[in-house]
Every structure is written in C-alpha cells, then in structure tokens.
Structure 1
Amino acid sequence: MSWPRLTLDCCLRVDVLSCCHSHLHLVQQKLNIRLQRQGNRLNSRIRCSHCNFSVPSAVGKTRASEEFLRPFLLETSMWQRTERAALDLASHLDSGDFVLGPRLARGTLRVCAELLHLHRRRQEEAGFVSSALLPVSAMWKNLTDKPLRAKVSWDPHLFALRCIRKRLFAMAPKKASAHSDAVQVLGEAEEDEEARTDLSEEICETAEDRALFALGELVAYVELKRAFPNWAALLIRTLLLLSKSQSGDDQDEMVLRRARLAFAEAFQRSPLVQKLAWRDHSPVPLAWLADVAEHPDASRALLRVLGRYREMSAQECCDLVEHVLLAKFRQWPHCTDIIFASELIQDLVGACLDAGRKARAPRGKTGSSQSLL
C-alpha cells in the first residue's frame, strides 16, 4: 500500500505528540519524587503547573500507593499511546517532510531512538539516486513553504548528540548544569548553534556510568570521527560500558572495536581522551596505548601508568613493558626523551629484576610474589 505525501501539518503533529509525551514523563517524575519525600504522611496535594492536574495526598502508606497508582496507570497508558501515534505518523512521512529538528528532540529516549531508526531505514529504502536529490528537494521546500523557512534540520549525527546533551543536562548535578534551565527556552536557531558545539569538561567528568549506559542506543547513530574532543571522550566511555553488558560475543567485539578506533583517532586532539588512558580505574585497556605510540602525549600517558607499577600484578606490568613500551614505543624519539630518561624507569627495571630473581628462587624461601613490590 502506498501512502500519499503527508504535509507539514503531519510533521507538526509528530512534534506536538513528542512534546506531550515528554510532559507526561515529567509529571510522572514529579509525582514519584513528591511521594518519596513525603513518606508515610502526605499533607498536601501534588499539582502539575502545566495542566492543573492534582493528586490528593494520602496519610497511610497503602493509601498513598493507591492514590499514586491511579494517575500513574492513566499516565502510562497515555504515554504508550502518544509513543505509538508519534512513531506511526513518522513512519508514513514523506522523505522531504521527515525533518530531524529541535522539536522532535524533545521526545523521550525511546521516541528519539525510534525516529532515528525510521530515518535511517527511510534513507536505505530511498537508495542512492533519491538520497542524492534529498538536499535539493529539502532546499526547495524551505524556499517555497513559508512555515519551513526558519525550520532547523539536522542529520542523524547532530540529532543524536542533541538528544544525548539534553538528557545529560537533566541528569547532571546543579553546578554542572547551571545553564540547563535556559535550554528549555532557547529558540530553534540557538538550539542549532548549541548542537554544533562541544560539551563542557565538567559535564563529561560528572556524567555517571548509569546515565551513559541508558543513552547507549543513541550512540549507534553518532559519527565518532565528527565528534568534538570532549564528546569523543564521553562516547568512548559509553561504548566501553556497552561492550561489557552486551549478550553476544560478536556484538561485544564490534562495540569494543569501534571504541578502540575512536580512541586512536581522538587521542591526539582530546585531552579528556588522553586522561582516560592514564587515570586510576580507567575503563580504557592499557594495551590501547600501543595504537597511539607515535604521539608524544602517549609517552606522557604511559609514564603516568608505569608510575603505578607497584599497584599492578607482575604479569600485568611485564605485559605493559614488553608488548607496549618495548614493542611499540621504543622506536620513537619522544619515548627516549620522556620515558627512558626518567628516574622511574630505573626503579622499574630494578623491580623487574627483583621480581625475576624471586620467581626463580625456591618457593619455600621467597613465597609467592603477586606484584613488583
């Protein structure tokens, strides 16, 4: 069955449904937070400032749960219906009307991910010829359709980053998200300008693993080579979290390979990616430093890592020295100037010789050595 070309009104309905879905999710969060704060005795009414919808407070725990469940069930039903309606409308949009912009980014995580999936599938179905003509048709629509003249259009990469940014600001501590309240009142032009900028270091440093893991579905639509330096560090962290939680071995390997390629590409231009390589309890495997051995910053990072040799096991330290330092770094001049010229390397060589002597000695005399102490 072939659907007719849908107009801008259909696009606006998708926007409205996405905004409505976000509002319902906000009401649910307010109800849940208020219920937790009040505990067993609730003496006020929970009211939504947008739609004037209120829920009477309960005195006992059982009654409070019952009062909360009534709007929760209704809200959940509306939430699911708006999701299905928005996605159904988007699935029938013409390619020229399927505009990924700021208003669609206000939807929930599931809606945004599904919109990106539909957009990718639409591009694959369109084929090479029609896809090449899409920019021309979109430009013509912007010139001829008055409501579209000021409409911002993003590709999947920018749309996914914008969706991630909005949720990071919402989950960040108050100090890190000081301007997150202003994001809600930005116009489309301002949102477009912000979407093309890097994240602050504070947001990247304070982002929790659970928050990044929840946003993992959107990372699949991000082009890592186009990511700004701070964005690159955040996306690598997210990919490493996903690689540890996937069910299939092949999928784990694919995600891990993508993270490793992104690490090698962004290492030189991103101080935060360099910090990922040497900081304590880093999620980045130490062997990845071998991929960036040609950069002087890699020698500095490796020197920091080797400075913790007393905390490593003997096997881990020997592998780092043999397979990374000697096999990959030794040939570069900056390795001689930064690592081999340092006092640390003398201590490390002495520790390795001492560990070898203990390993060759009878076990009864030296005991089992687990580290280079």
Structure 2
Amino acid sequence: MSPQSKSRKKKQGKAPARRPEQQSPYGALLESAAALRSESWLLADAWASELYATLWLAGSGYDPLIAALRAMDDPAALTALRALSGVGSAEIRANAAAAAETVAARGVAEPSWYSAGASLEFREAFLVTNLLGDVEVVAITQERAGAAETVLFMRQPVLGATAIELFATPDEGTVALLEDMIASTPDAFRDAITPLSATDVYDRVWPDIEQFWADGPDDEAEEGLIGDEDVRHPVQLIALADARVSALVPDGYEIPSLSPERTDEVVEAFLASEHGLPDVEAARAFARIVAGAAVEQNRDPVVYGPASLTAVLILNVAARVHVSDADLALLPEIVRAWAYFTVDARDLPRDEARAAWDEELPTVLAEFSEAYADPELAAERDGQFR
C-alpha cells in the first residue's frame, strides 16, 4: 500500500479561533441611554446636554452620531435621539427629532417618559441678586407633559454664565425653591425675589449663551465636564439652557437695544452727583469708559458691582488706554465716587451698599493696578484715557 493510500489520522489541535466581534464605538453611550428609558424627561435632557458638551469639546460634530443612531433598531438609540432632540441648537434638535421619528416608524419602543407632541410652556421666572447685583440667579420654570421643571441660570454681568442647575419644580413652586436657596447661603443674596417675563429672561440670559458658544472650549470647561464632580461649570447644561431659553420667545424676536444716548445721560448724572470728584475732566473720561462699556454690552450703565467693575477696568482701561501717572493717582477717588453713585442711582440701601463697596474696593483697585502693570496688556494699549 502506497504511503499516499494510507488513511491518515488527523492531528489533534486547536479549533480555528472565532473572529472577535467588533465592538460598537457607541456601546457605552447606548448602555447609558438604556438606563434612561424608565427615568424622566428631565434626566434625559441633562444626560443629552452633557453628551452635547462632550462632542463640542472634542470638536467631532453631531451629525455622525445622529446618523449612526438613526440606523439602529434599538430602544436605547431611540431614547438617545429623543433626549438629543430636547437640547442644543434648533438645527440639531430638529435633526435628532427627525432621526427619532425614522427609528420609531420601524416599531422601536419609545422611552416611558416620552409624550408625542409635548412642548415646553413658560410658567414663571424670577430674579435673585446679591446686594450690589454682581451675582444673579435667574429661575426659569417651564411645563412639559404635565411636569414642571426649573432651570437656575447663575451669571455675572460682563463675565456671563457661571453655573446652571436643573430641578424638578417642587410642589410649593419656584418661589419656594428660591427661598430655600437664599436661606441655605446666608448673606449671599438679597431677600427680594423679582418676577420676570419670558422676554425679560431671554433679554438677560441669551447673550450669555451666545457668548459661551462663541468663546469656544477652555480648560475649565473640560475640567467641569470630566474632572472632579465637585467642579461646577455651565458647559454641563449649556446645551439644555440654549434650548430652554430659545423657547421663551417667538422666531424672529430681537433683544431691544439700549440707546447710545444712555451713556451721555449717565455721565452727566455722575458729574452732577455730590461725591467730591477730585478732577471733573478725569471723572468724565472714566465715566464715559465704564458707561460706554455697559451700553455696548446692552446693559444699564448704573448696574455695576465689584466683579463687573473690575472686569471693565481691566478689559477697557488696562488693556486699551494709556493713563498718566497723575490720573492713575486720581482713579481711587473717582472709582469710589462712581461706586457710590451707582448705589444712589439704583436706590439700594445706602449705608449697607456703601459699606459693601468699601469692603470690596481695595481688591478692585489692586487687581486693576496689577493688570495695568502687566507688560502684555501695556503692549495692547492704543488709546488715551483723556
């Protein structure tokens, strides 16, 4: 028998390895979205807002994710799309909503909280500030599918949004929520809770949202999203705030602009006030800068506090104009006079507000002096104080 005709015993060995299944790049996202299916619309919006922020920080865009989710016959994918359709810009919300309809039309189950045709309806809004108005909290309560939700938008004039919080509105109402906030942070806020209309809220908050997106990502935004959970940053809920605030006004609404004449009115009122101005022309030059900066930002020039005044002194004086040594020596008195003038112009409690300014002004002036001495800012100056 030839060797070729002998039966051969197969060698025992390992069976061919199975090719590993390729992991979906959206696996973790789908897993977290699946956990939202039986939660609430409020939690879904918060989840989507952080996802929106993650993509924004990464610079990866939103279309690829929406397209990928649209192709899936998966309840978690539909949940993610329903959540994404509630946050961010109008265009992205519309794209996510259209994709969700495509998935739902294939018979994929909706999340338990979703209600077709439900929209946000404005219920009420309020403003709370600290004594000098440098810290503001705008509470916006809207209702959707029978549930009331409140966004607290914390901001500082000039500096913009500092934090955003989202709550299920308590049964006692928005005012009760704010009263608890005031009580839990003694001396941080005035007791006054001022009602705002929907347009009042939009006029106050929308410019901050636009500026946030225009400025682009920064290190603090990234840390606020993926760093220590104690770090709070508006990047977490800015996409939610974008959608909630834009829903307050009809398409085509434009924020009213302050008249440039308001600068002249306030300058003349300041010069006519009895605050012992050391040099009228130096005071005029100073007042034109700070009042003009406020009008450019579309806010009333008399609404200044320590943080906003410091910001304008640095951005509009230290970084823009040369000030003589003689005028630098006059500035502390002029700045104090301006601070006292804003107290009277806003009808704040005079003694309490002046005492608050007296406590803060040394820091304001020290930060300005440090900025004015900065060589980099000195190199940017191309104007004259007067």
TM-score interval for Structure 1 and Structure 2 normalised by the shorter chain: under 0.3
Q: Could you state the TM-score of these two structures normalised by the residue count of structure 2?
A: 0.25
Q: Could you state the TM-score of these two structures normalised by the residue count of structure 1?
A: 0.26
Higher relative contact order (CA 8 A, sep 6+): 2
Structure with bigger strand share is 2
